[in-house]
Chains A and B, each alone.
Chain A
Amino acid sequence: MQFSFTNEQEEFRSVLRRFFEDRSPPTVIRRLMETEAGWEREAWRALNQDLGIGAVHIPETYGGQGFSFVELGIVLEEMGRALVCAPYFATTALAATAILNAGTEAQKRELLPAIGTGETVATLAFTEPNGRWDASGIGLTATEANGRWRLEGAKSFVLDGHTADLIVVLARRPGSQGTDGLSFFTVRGEAAGLTRRPLKVLDPTRKQALLTFAGVEADLLGEEGAAAAPFARTMMQAAVCLANENAGGAERLRESALEYANLRVQFGRTIASFQSMKHKQADMLVDVELAKSAAYYAASAAAEDDPELPAIASLAKACTSEAYMQTAIHTVQIHGGIGFTWDNDTHLWFKRAKSSEVFLGTPAWHREKMMQVWEAA
């Protein structure tokens, strides 16, 4: 297990940080979050051309950079820190990972290069309006007739679902239950019979959509009826990705709270000089450092495909989500009245923290998953 980053990884991080600070200041975030798409194709292309991050964990065979989840974790931590408005989590963390886990060799060769360059914006449609994050929630059906698959049903909470060019969809054989009969499919964004409605979301920096499939023609991805394992694996890896994003956002908030406390003067002294503030900041540092440890350990475990990954991924998701949310709450509090205004930037991260606390499963849900692993051990 890797407990420190290499010099190359640190250098990679600092390149990303400079780039995102430059390209994604709060003014840009605020402009994009008011749009329906939530991101801009030109900026997305530039991001991929300059940094090549769309392909970071895609193997070189499929036109990727061939790095591991550690490097992907670094990208996500920095993106979470800068709150970059881009379809990166949907495209790379979710869709590319699902295709890597489920696709046939030919499909990976066909689909991944364009995803890696940013040419194809992709997403993964798995959760349905019932809001369940595992196979038990899948009701959307896939039926085959005359060698063609057709999808019937609905997917919700689909990240960038209304703007993605390619949608990876999890469906089940009619009449199957639980983890049986699950298959992945790919669908073009403009497919006939597909209705895409952007949802009114709490976190405007990451858009979600409700997708309705009415007999939508789809291509089978991988083996029919065998998606349960690649889906479970994708969810673990996505949880690790989100954990790293959470850690980045939490650290950014912690730093902004400290900076503000050092500036703000009340009763003739900076509020940073009050012991209650110092102790709160010390506690925030503890929360964030523990969250970073969890995120980094999980990224390393995903990179090494550690047998404990099922528990560790859930641990990291739960731990970082709670740390992010707690840090966001403290950060609003430390800013006082100004922290509750729209003009102050804290709410942008606060809303991401709240949304990410729920996305992919709440902390309590993930703790239960951890326990299912540990009680058996």
Chain B
Amino acid sequence: MSEATEASVRAEVRAWLEANWSPEYGLVQWRNKLIDSGWGVPTWPTDWYGRALPIGLEAVVEEEFRRVGAVGVAKTGIRRLAAATLLAHGTPAQKERFLRRSLTGEDTWCQLFSEPGSGSDLAGAMTRAEFKGNRWVINGQKVWTTSAHHADWGLLLARTDWDVPKHQGLTYFVIDMHQPSVQVHPLRQMNGHASFNQVFFTDAEVPPENMVAGIGKGWAVATTTLMHERRGADGISRWGAPSTRQGRIYDEERAENATVMEPYTWYPQRAGRVDLILPRARETGAIADPAVRQEIAKVLTLAKTAEWTARRARAAQVQGRPQGPEGSLGKLIGSHVSRAAAAVHTSISGADAMLSGSDGPHDGTIAEILISFPANSIAGGTDEIQRNIISERVLGMPKEPRTDNDRPFRDVPKNVVT
């Protein structure tokens, strides 16, 4: 491809959409067309459904899609992490088999990394994969698995060697979730939702062609998946209100997103609902209480400075400057915001803060804040792990002493899981 500029890309995608887009397509039919054109994943290589555009021009393509209301490839959910991981590490046969159906949305995926015995310490996974006869046999348990109950495929991190240090004994697999030896049970959280699952493997099977990257290479592959997750490639954080457009393809897209996003309905509450603080304070009259006013001002200050800090990080990125410390703090600051917001919602609600569901303020939304915020300082890296990362990688302080990296995993102390 000749030198792509913003103007040339914009003109090209606009012309293609004019000639091809129609809301009367079926979702899968349209996405296949998109994938063939290269406009579905324009930054991917030309060999694999893309146009090898620089990352910076992706926004231009998205803008043109939005302008005419054209639907894109499946953008939300673990399938995007799966696609990005397999694009980087998969064999041509694996790419052939999995990429297209992930982009069309025909296949859904889940991520099988965390275990009851390894949360922050993912590389301590103990789910076992053994090669027996002509297949891998899987035994063990995974947890915190979003969408496992309707996933077609799972990204599985399992231990294949117990006699080498922990990171070297892991292997990455694609596992078929539709087999009786894979049992999925919902995991009920303290806020009553069951957004995640526990997954049990009892002699579950994986054919050798579904191993990704090679025996003992699992940690590197998992790191790729996690990197895409941290960058928000699953699209969860960007997800806004569903479109209200009319047409067959929009109906199908809405149905798809409703399924993918169903586990996340409480996520805004988990973040503290800062947007509700002032309206609620006016509503209850707490806005006249000087002590509550101070608390409100503190939370709003925290939320605003958090947003400005994120914008400073983005501005530096756009300018191509090396990222300053402001770019690494968002996760930890987000925990502070949600915790403080939940506290002030309590002060604002008074006795009503004890009520939930249809008896609670805003039909239970406030109650959901009060019992969901603790997830924010745990999921995706606990506050404590974040502080380790910040102090070690940003501030250059000494790393935590390790006793588990230089000996066979077999000899490393482990949790007793019952």
Contact = CB atoms under 8 A, between A and B. Distances in A.
B290 to A, nearest CB: 7
B263 interface: no
Contacts of B293: 367-368, 371, 375
A267 B276 CA distance: 50
B312 A4 contact: yes
Majority secondary structure of chain A interface residues (helix, strand, loop or mixed): helix
Nearest to B319: A4
A142 B312 CA distance: 47
Interface centre among A261, A275, A282 (most CB of B within 10 A): A282
B236 to A, nearest CB: 24
A315 B304 contact: yes
Contacts of A292: 312, 326
Interface in A29-64: none
A220 interface: no
B317 to A, nearest CB: 9
A281 B305 CA distance: 19
Interface stretch (B112-120, B186-194, B351-359, B381-389): B381-389
B398 A290 contact: no
Contact of B294 (A281, A283, A367): A367
Contacts of A355: none
B283 to A, nearest CB: 12
Interface string B371-386: 0000000000000101
A367 B388 contact: no
A319 interface: yes
Nearest to B386: A282
Contact of B300 (A278, A279, A296, A374): A374
Interface string A360-376: 00001001101100110
Interface in B291-321: 293-294, 296-298, 300-302, 304-306, 308-309, 311-312, 314-316, 319, 321
B297 A278 contact: no
Interface residues of B, number: 44
A285 B301 contact: no
Given A272-B397, A273-B398, A278-B397, A283 B387 contact: yes
B315 to A, nearest CB: 4
A237 B301 CA distance: 18
Given A290-B306, A368-B294, A285 B325 contact: yes
A319 B316 CA distance: 23
B220 interface: no
B309 A293 contact: yes
Contacts of B287: 371, 375
A262 interface: yes
A3 B311 CA distance: 6
Given A4-B321, A375-B282, A290 B309 contact: yes
Q: What 8 A-B pairs come out closest when comparing CB atoms?
A: A278-B391, A367-B297, A3-B315, A4-B315, A293-B308, A282-B387, A282-B390, A273-B398
6 contacts: A272-B397, A278-B391, A282-B332, A286-B329, A296-B312, A319-B305
Interface of A: 3-4, 258, 261-262, 269-270, 272-273, 275, 277-279, 281-283, 285-286, 289-294, 296-297, 315, 318-319, 364, 367-368, 370-371, 374-375, 377
